[in-house]
Amino acid sequence: MSSLWIPETLDYVGPIYRPPSEARSIILQATVGCAHNRCTFCVSYKTKGRFRIKDRAVIEADLDKAARLYPGVKRLFVADGDALIMPMREWRWLLPAIRENLPWVERVGAYTTARAVRKKTDEDLRWLRENGLGILYLGLESGDDETLRYVKKDSDSAQMIEAARRIRRAGILLSVTVLLGIAPPGRSLEHARETGRVLTAMDPEYVGALSVIVCEGTELAGQVARGEHHVPSPPELLEELREMLAATHMTHGLFMANHASNYLPLKVRMPGEKEEALALLDAARSGLVPLRPEEHRAL
């Protein structure tokens, strides 16, 4: 009888999510779930129960495995949903442990929320940067306060801007995610324009614009089923994206709408390529540029 060979992996609890740009990174799950876990559109952490930090012994074992499995891999992403929320005592242990076990890692990344940033002092953020935390991914979703309340985010637009500015002052790269199609009925363009305003104030290195896909098990799915939320059509999503990009004035960086959820992939180096991108959106809205087929869209 032959035995089944199962490849060695790190300790992962439930499905693991990471940004597209971390596709080639070591994924180290130091926390399980999301400390907020109330956003109406998000299904990612619903099955993971109450947010918790993993035992250090489990993380130490994973670092030992990673040293054997991923020699030379230069980036590491700390999961789960908002790992920055961990107290500084955990980060002051974790980052040196990563450096000791994986000395070839050049950049550590993690998801964050504005609330998690508020729990860190400026000195804390500088220490994190000096000890390897090179990029944070912040889910803004919208710059419109009415939309933020509607989708039950944990912070308002002013708090989001302040968190972004503190991250950037600390020297940590910032990637901001925004979400098309989540505004309350009749508020699509306000959501787009206000999001552009907030992105301008944040001035991050990266923006990722995704289009909402309604997932079973979310509060949003219930709102759609009851007729309380309107899922925008492809032309409406293109109009929202155009308004958002037009209202965004970044001094540098990339504005990307090339996620698989979007109908028209865009990668715009700001500010030089903005006008060309707006013209492409206008052509797509006029039917002159083909859109991604519905069956090819995914989260």
pLDDT tens sequence across 289-299 = 998 887 666 65
pLDDT tens sequence across 50-73 = 999 999 999 999 999 999 999 999
Q: Measure Cα distances from 89 to 86, 104, 124, 136, 287 in Å.
A: 8, 23, 10, 19, 55
pTM: 0.95
C-beta of residue 177 within 8 angstroms of C-beta of residue 141: yes
For range 157-163, the mean pLDDT:
98
pLDDT for the residue numbered 261: 84
pLDDT for the residue numbered 1: 41
pLDDT tens sequence across 252-261 = 999 999 888 8
pLDDT tens sequence across 178-208 = 999 999 999 999 999 999 999 999 999 999 9
pLDDT for the residue numbered 163: 98
pLDDT tens sequence across 5-22 = 557 899 999 999 999 999
Q: Measure Cα distances from 75 to 25, 146, 172, 201, 213 in Å.
A: 5, 37, 15, 28, 29
pLDDT for the residue numbered 298: 66
* Higher pLDDT among residues 296 and 266, named by residue: 266
For range 103-114, the mean pLDDT:
98
pLDDT for the residue numbered 123: 98
Statement: residue 74 has pLDDT above 70: yes
Q: Percentage of residues in the chain with pLDDT exceeding 70? A: 96
pLDDT for the residue numbered 294: 76
Statement: residue 2 has pLDDT above 50: no
Distance CA 232, CA 211 (A): 9
pLDDT tens sequence across 23-48 = 999 999 999 999 999 999 999 998 89
